[in-house]
Amino acid sequence: MTTKPRTRSEIVEAMKEAARIGGASLAENFARLSALPILEKGPSDFVSAADIESERLIVAHLNAKLPEVAVLGEEGAASPDAGNGLRIIIDPLDGTNNFLHGIPQFSASLALMEGEEVTAGVTFNPLSGEMFWAVAGEGAYLGDRKLNGSSRQSLAHAVVGTCFPYNGKGDTEKAAREMAAIMPRVSGIRSPGSAALEIAYVAEGRFDGFWTSGAKLDLWDLAAGVIIAREAGCLATEIDGQGDPLQCRSLVVAPRQFHGKFVDIFRSTRAAGALNRAASV
């Protein structure tokens, strides 16, 4: 028996359902945080029963609704490739450190890939109930409201988000140079701790930009956010303005009026860093 091909819109509806199911389990586990078993996958790389349960529920729903679509979860859950190039990348709990410290800022995030291209994304905040989503060519939305990014024009009024490296994960010196270059030019810098939500905030216009290059982020951290931001009319590139951020894992995302300005700032910090390294040899 063959399965009728689905439209992207049908797939993204199933992804939103799965995100709500996983998110509901996250909210329940957050309410009983002190009782949760916690494992350490590596140095300062934690996974809780909440991550595992959210991923299990998301994968089960997707397998039931979309048997023709492969899934791959951050915590290792997977289903076989059906040979059609479709797969859903899952981050069942983006913002694990926040979650484990009782900080109410985390999300479940899913991205649809067709071959190597991300064509839909969903980021769900289970505590606020906010569902950010996008389908390639159809725009980005918060619930039913279309997103268009920030309309602010002055960089001096901008608030930007970032992710900081920690405990040896990433390049702390690079992150420090970037921070020093950005801080005098903007109104504020925030690091709420969930990259998926921070990028969605750029799409919604709460943040006027987001960047990361010093921190170590993976495909499931960025994929959904990048398509949501792009479909809201924002630009998302590798930090020097070239290349695909999903391939190199550095990212600057911002509305068009700010993107080039951020890229210029980061290019200058890289040049200064290279000169400093050369001088120290």
The residues spanned by each domain of the chain are 8-136, 155-280
Q: Look at the domain 155-280 and name its fold.
A: D-Maltodextrin-Binding Protein; domain 2 (3.40.190)
Provide the annotated binding site.
74, 91, 93-94, 221
- Reported as a pLDDT band with limits 50, 70 and 90, residue 241 is confident
Question: What local confidence, expressed as pLDDT, does residue 281 receive?
Answer: 44
What mean pLDDT is predicted for residues 10-23? 98
- In CATH, the number for domain 8-136 is 3.30.540.10
Inter-CA distances, 219 with 64, 90, 196, 222, Å: 24, 9, 11, 5
pLDDT score of 275 more than 60: no
- Reported as a pLDDT band with limits 50, 70 and 90, residue 132 is very high
pLDDT score of 259 more than 90: yes
Q: In what order do the strands lie in the sheet with 86-94?
A: 70-73, 86-94, 107-114, 117-125, 130-135, 139-142, 145-146
Question: What local confidence, expressed as pLDDT, does residue 150 receive?
Answer: 98
Joined tokens for residue 46: 């934690």
Q: Phi and psi at residue 26, in whole multiples of 5°?
A: -65, -45
Provide the annotated binding site for Mg(2+).
74, 91, 93-94, 221
Question: What local confidence, expressed as pLDDT, does residue 83 receive?
Answer: 64
Question: What local confidence, expressed as pLDDT, does residue 98 receive?
Answer: 94
Question: What local confidence, expressed as pLDDT, does residue 274 receive?
Answer: 47
- Reported as a pLDDT band with limits 50, 70 and 90, residue 268 is confident
Mean pLDDT of the chain: 87
Question: What local confidence, expressed as pLDDT, does residue 1 receive?
Answer: 40
pLDDT digit string, tens, across residues 31-61:
988 877 776 655 445 567 888 999 999 999 9
Dihedral sign for Cα 247, 244, 142, 67, please. Answer: negative
Pairing of strands 209-212, 159-162: parallel
**Residues 4 and 67: beta-carbon distance below 8 Å:** no
- Any idea which of 34-38, 136-140, 176-180, 190-194 has the lowest mean pLDDT? 34-38
